[in-house]
A = this chain, B = another copy of it.
Amino acid sequence: MDDSCFFCQKLRRLAELPADEVVWEFPSSVAFLGPWQYFAGYCILVSRRHATELFQLSVQERREYLEEMNLLAHAIADCFTPRKMNYELLGNQVGHLHWHLFPRRDDDPDKLKPVWLALNRAERDAAEKTRLQAASLPRAEIAARLRAFLQKHLPR
């Protein structure tokens, strides 16, 4: 844990967060429903351990974290049938391991491009921000569908 780290702080106050934001608490990570629900099911998967690069984890820690990432991506894809999943671990602003898992819609006019071009426009354009944050389903329903898949498919 790093007291000054945004994600370390967030992991410490899970109980205070809205119920539809914490999608799943895995052994090695926690899945949060992200803000850009134009991409229905978009999640951020935060490592419980504070580290900045995957190769700082032990083989076993990395395996667990990456299998949780894979299972969450599978859940998103199964629930919302995107044309493609996008898996991104960047950390340019917050250096604590977290995956952005974006399901890409077939009707997205920008479907051939990374999401960041649209998200960058949204920073300066309120209408674009509203469009990309709006979900076609309530956030609680999106979270509930993901949880149902995970409940069924998690290793016992």
Contact = CB atoms under 8 A, between A and B. Distances in A.
Contact of A73 (B54, B95, B113): B54
A90 B95 contact: no
A113 B63 CA distance: 28
A53 B77 contact: yes
A34 to B, nearest CB: 15
A interface majority secondary structure: mixed
A53 to B, nearest CB: 6
| Interface range for A | 20 to 34
Given A55-B70, A66-B66, A117-B117, A87 B88 contact: yes
Instruction: Work out how many copies of this chain go into the complex.
Output: 2
Interface of A: 52-55, 59, 62-63, 66-67, 70-71, 73-74, 77, 84-93, 95, 104, 111-114, 116-117, 120
Given A62-B70, A67-B59, A116-B116, A88 B85 contact: no
Contact of A77 (B55, B67, B70, B120): B55
A74 B114 CA distance: 24
Given A70-B55, A73-B53, A73-B54, A92 B104 contact: yes
Which of A59, A62, A85 has the largest count of B CB atoms less than 10 A from its CB?
A85
